[in-house]
Amino acid sequence: MRAIRCEQYGPPSDLVLRELPDPEPAVGEVVVRIEGASVNFPDTLFIQNKYQITVPVPFTPGSEFVGAVIKAAPDVYGVNVGDHVMGAAMVGAYAEQIAVPSTSLRPVPAGLSGPEAAAFSVTFRTAFHALVTQGEFQSGDWVVVLGASGGVGTAAVDIATRLGGKVVAVDRGGARLDICRQLGAVATVDFDTEDVKTRIKDVTGGGANVVLDPVGGDVSEQALRSIAWGGRFVVIGFASGDIPRIPLNLVLLKGPVIKGFEMRTFPQFRAAEYAAGEKRLEEMVVEGLKPVVGAVYPLDKTIEALNAILDRKIAGKVVIDMTA
């Protein structure tokens, strides 16, 4: 099979395309022939050894995929050869095949195309639980989404709107904010040209109830300064590359609840909430929830796909098409 390999830590340009042996399923595993894999910002961190945990080289990046089951270990039940499935793994998805635990898969919901299914799991689970579980969202809340045109951002705008929230989308202007308005944002803020704190406070009439932050950098503090007293600020990631240092006097004065969210460990520590979220997301897919797929690349153009994420050139999700 063909696979993208990280053989030394570094930028996407250091990745190479290799021929590898087809994987075999270990105990509890199945092998999936991958049709499409989604590009997520943490993938760019893994290959540079900048993520919270280190993956030893060499490895195949990619964490989110859709495809068909082609092999299964004898002890696997409930997942069968031929099933059309979507799943997530820490690494391994930028390849034509992947061996994963059968428990990490679920059927592709009706209503999602192949690229949409590849792009669904990580970002929509992240957005839902950051908003609902950690952010304690209530219908009618003002929700500020930073980096709103990205994968997690567009998912958060869509989910919050469908659940009755009033969304303020913060990102660069132009077409990126147009997409956020199409997804239901009632107001937008261009952080290149507008004062984020002042604009949010003006729009909300008193401050945001929930802030979702996958960006970090200077905009984090501006958003925290715009929060209503007792609001919830959820840290998701640092796509800007800058981990902010928040002045604690803001916490003293505004009384916000600041929480973090990481999809990798969340199911382990909040199993009941994770299961409830899976059920609700399935219902929302039936109601029309789906990812914004901004671009699709073939496997041999994976470097370009990762650079598009790093350069913030694409609104929504980027997908690698293994069948191209």
Residue 8, domain CATH: 3.90.180.10
Q: Is the dihedral of CA 160, 162, 167, 169 positive or negative?
A: positive
Average pLDDT of span 280-294: 92
Mean pLDDT of all residues in 64-87: 96
Task: With a cut of 90, say whether residue 47 has pLDDT above it.
Answer: yes
Are 172 and 78 contained in the same domain? no
Within-domain flag for 80: yes
How much is the average pLDDT of 105-116?
Answer: 90
Token pair recorded at residue 258:
């600041």
**Domain extent at residue 306:** 2-120+292-321
Dig out the tokens for 11 from the structure. Answer: 């930028």
Average pLDDT over residues 76-85: 95
pLDDT surpasses 90 at 46: yes
Q: Are residues 107 and 127 in the same domain?
A: no
Query: H helices within the chain, ranges in order?
Result: 41-46, 114-118, 121-128, 151-162, 175-182, 196-204, 218-225, 248-254, 266-269, 271-286, 302-310
Count how many Cα atoms sit within 13 Å of the Cα of residue 180 in the half-sphere of its side chain.
32
Tell me what pLDDT residue 165 has: 97
Confidence of residue 314 (pLDDT cuts 50, 70, 90): confident
Give the model confidence (pLDDT) of 136-195 as tens digits.
Answer: 999 999 999 999 999 999 999 999 999 999 999 999 888 889 999 999 999 999 988 999
Question: From the CB of residue 184, how many other CB atoms can be counted at a distance below 10 Å?
Answer: 16
- Residue-wise pLDDT for 24-35, tens only, equals 999 999 999 999
Average pLDDT value for residue range 7-21: 97
Q: Report the alpha-carbon distance of residue 29 to residue 99 in Å, rounded.
A: 6
Same domain, 58 and 153: no
206 and 220 housed in the same domain: yes
CATH code (residue 199): 3.40.50.720
pLDDT at 264 over 90: no
Burial class for 140, CB neighbours closer than 10 Å (0-12, 13-18, 19+): exposed
For 207-238, the pLDDT digits (tens) are: 999 999 999 999 999 999 999 999 999 999 88
Q: For 243-263, what is each residue's pLDDT tens digit? A: 999 899 989 988 999 999 988
State how beta strands 317-321 and 29-39 pair.
Answer: antiparallel
pLDDT over 90 at 268, yes or no: no
Residues 210 and 240 in one domain: yes
Residues 10, 88 within the same domain: yes
Q: Is residue 281 a part of any domain in this protein?
A: no
Show the tokens assigned to 136.
């304690």
Contact 169, 204 (CB under 8 A): no
The verdict on residue 19 lying in a domain is yes
Give pLDDT, residue 265: 86
pLDDT at 239: 85
pLDDT of the residue at 176 = 86
Domain-terminating residue out of 260, 280, 307: 260
Confidence (pLDDT) at 110: 85
Co-location of 95 and 54 in the same domain: yes
Whether 317 and 250 share a structural domain: no
Residue 115 sits in the same domain as residue 126: no
Q: Are residues 130 and 254 in the same domain?
A: yes
pLDDT given at position 236: 95
Last residue in a domain, options 211, 245, 260? 260
Radius of gyration of the chain (CA): 20
Taking CA 45 as the corner, what is the angle to CA 5 and CA 304, rounded to the nearest 5 degrees?
60
64 with 166, same domain: the answer is: no
Q: What's the domain count of the chain?
A: 2
Range with the poorest average pLDDT among 83-87, 108-112, 140-144, 146-150 = 108-112
160 CB contacts (<8 Å, ≥6 apart)? Answer: 131, 137, 141, 143, 145, 167, 184
Contact present, 38 and 119 (Cβ < 8 Å): yes
Same domain, 107 and 234: no
What would the mean pLDDT of 85-98 be, rounded to a whole number? 95
What's the mean pLDDT in 14-18? 98
